[in-house]
Amino acid sequence: MATIGNTVPTLLDVAKRMNPDGGGIMPIAELLAQENEMLLDMPWYEGNLPTGSRITTRTGLPSVIYRKLNSGVPPSKSTTAQVDESCGIMEGRGQVDVDLALLNGNTAAFRLSESSSFIEAMNQAMQQGVLYGNTDVTPESFTGLAPRFSTVSTATAATAANVIDAGGTGTTNTSIWLVGWGEKTVHGIYPKGSKAGLVHKDLGEGDAFDENGNRFRALMDQYQWKCGVAVKDWRYIVRIANIDVSTLTKNAATGADIIDLMTQALELIQGLTGVSPVFYVSRRVRAFLRRQTVNKVAAGTLSYDNVSGKPALMFGEVPVRRVDAILNAEARVV
């Protein structure tokens, strides 16, 4: 069994959170928190299956002809295909010894401080899943974006047409993503009949077990998020892969020319109308994007605008968001 100190708060944990002047629980500096702005942009829709959503995509158009006088027109039809997008059930459990919770004098504040850490952990796990989730590796999860855009070979996958190779060959690569969110393009899903987003349940007081299987009374919480990603039209996603972060320079004299690559992505995406297009970059790429813009004097490339009530960095007409979950240690996409 797991050691108690690794799975439930201990007296030491309570002591570390107490204000020395007796003012209750201190605010916690969340040094492990990440900036994952993609989750703020994703639209969510209820699936039509208990395990996710079945989507129908058009795979072929009907044939049409120029009709001759006194001649008929052969009938034709379009073709479609169905794909099932799965959801995973992400869950966390918290429990605090009842007597331990009473010691700090503010049980509600102590439990809230613990809940915030669960919420941050689930947000980070969700963002990792949206980017890198792979049901071949973790069958109970869902498939994210990277496994769908994992090759530059159009002979291997149609989505390769929307993968730009930035030239990195090692294992210090990162990616830039351009996503056109929309109900008919790309969005988050949750199972039919379930709730959207992270759900917290206060399970109240109950029996918990120590490492020896002995019971003790504890206050318990359940955190659950039923989630998945539906890609209805892959043409509204562009991946700029193989950006070697170790060779980036402020003037693009060597390494990836971020401005040029993002310009190519804007021309690859199917369209910017009728969707909410957003660029997603790592902190390191965002910093070099700014520096290359200044050094190349790319007037008008970057600007600030108001998006959803907040100032946002813009590349042309598209916001640029920071996502800390984008790795700087991706293997080369071939």
**Could you read off the pLDDT of 298-325 as tens digits, one per residue?**
556 777 676 667 777 899 899 999 999 9
CA distance 28 to 324: 20
pLDDT of residue 33: 57
Q: In what order do the strands lie in the sheet with 318-322?
A: 163-165, 237-244, 173-181, 276-281, 318-322, 310-315, 302-307
Considering only the C-alpha atoms of the chain, give the largest distance between any 2 of them, rounded to a whole number of Å. Answer: 96
Q: Other C-beta atoms within 10 Å of 193: how many?
A: 9
Angle between helices 258-268 and 283-295 (to 10 degrees): 110
Which tokens in the block code for residue 14?
Answer: 């309570």
Contact 301, 316 (CB under 8 A): yes
Contact 275, 180 (CB under 8 A): yes
Give the predicted TM-score (pTM) of the model. Answer: 0.83
CA distance 294 to 163: 27
Q: Which residues of the chain have pLDDT under 70?
A: 1-33, 104-105, 297-300, 304, 306-308
pLDDT of residue 50: 94
Q: Give the amino acid at 53.
A: S
CA distance 244 to 235: 25
CA distance 174 to 281: 9
Q: 44-46 and 186-190: which strand pairing?
A: parallel
pLDDT of residue 106: 73
CA distance 332 to 101: 49
Mean pLDDT over all residues of the chain? 86
Q: Give the amino acid at 36.
A: N
pLDDT of residue 168: 95
Give Rg (Cα) of the chain: 25
Which tokens in the block code for residue 295?
Answer: 């050094």
Show the DSSP H helices in the chain as ranges: 4-7, 11-17, 38-41, 98-103, 107-132, 258-268, 283-295
pLDDT of residue 29: 45
Q: Give the amino acid at 215.
A: R
